[in-house]
Structure 1
Amino acid sequence: MAAHHRYHVDQDGHSITVLSDVRRRRADVLVDGKTVASVRVPRRGAAFLRGELPGDPPDPPKPFLIRVSHAYDSGDVPPCALETDGMRYLMPSVPLTREEEWPAEPTPPARTPGELARRWRNRVHRTGRGGSGPRV
């Protein structure tokens, strides 16, 4: 299980991000890149974070509540939900690093020699060399 989790959603023209550190048992909420709430996550139960979305004058700020629960299984990502205006939105988990992204599905093996040659030509044409693509 990953030690850090990031959740992100855009709501009413504002960016809401939750950063959860499982090992330190800490959760932070950022609105438009600024920390607005921070809480220590309990060993049992959920952590609740309260904040406000800035309102454009003459609209008042809009309060919200974020609930970060514990994972159901050891390999799962803990669920995180945003509650505002009487509605609850499940916040999607967003990878923190490139290594945490979902792996690309493997390309199935070529069924014919012609298909293998076509893939090789496309790769050479796309990258300018016979390698597997640009190295990162």
Structure 2
Amino acid sequence: MAPEVFAGNYDRKCDIWSLGVCFYAMLVGYQPFQGKNVNEIIKKVNAGKLPKHPTWKKMNKDMKKIIKSMIRKENERLTAEEILDSKSTQKLSKDMYEFIFMKTLKALKTPKPSEEFIIKVQFANKGKP
């Protein structure tokens, strides 16, 4: 939950915070704000400081910028439109597109059917037009 939710305020920017937390958790492997009890977690959420997990340190700098822009104090948090228009998002989108679609894939070798398979298929198809 975004820090302002604890004060009873909720708007679209809270969803941006939550999405940033989800991105962090998916990429790092655990929630960014943890504690022994609810009060400790709330204190960490209100501080808004992301832990520097080893995976975080190795993460793509553009992805880190995007997540940091989402997990900020309400008045500093970007809107969805601002995030989508940011240079970091544009660069990351381009990199992902090239990785997924422009990567040259090596064709798999088609295995030849075994003698036993050919006989079974011929037997199964015997008498069919």
TM-score (norm 2): 0.24
TM-score (norm 1): 0.23
Normalized per residue, the structure richer in strand is: 1
Normalized per residue, the structure richer in helix is: 2
User: Which structure has the greater CA radius of gyration?
Assistant: 2
